[in-house]
Structure formats: structure tokens, C-alpha cells
Amino acid sequence: MLAGSSLLTLLDDIATLLDDISVMGKLAAKKTAGVLGSDLS
């Protein structure tokens, strides 16, 4: 039982981490697009 709950906690942590990474990736993509856009204009 204890192992199962700690596994769920681990999966939850991983899901949170992946969410953080995807958000940072989107922000980085926006920044990169902004820099490229300003270079082109």
C-alpha cells in the first residue's frame, strides 16, 4: 500500500515537472520568435 501511494506521488511530481518544462518551452519559443521577428523587421 505504501509503495503504491509513493508511486502515485512520484508520478504526480513527474507530471508537474513536465508541465513546468512545457510552459518554459513555450515562453522560450515566444522569446525566440520575438527576437527573430525584430531581427527581420
pLDDT in tens, 1-41: 577 789 999 999 999 999 999 999 999 999 998 888 887 66
pLDDT (0 to 100) of residue 1:
56
DSSP annotation of 35 = H
| Angstrom distance (rounded) from CA 11 to CA 8 | 5
CA–CA dist 7, 4 (Å, integer): 5
pLDDT at 23: 95
The verdict on pTM exceeding 0.85 is no
Which pLDDT score is estimated for 39? 78
- Which pLDDT score is estimated for 4? 79
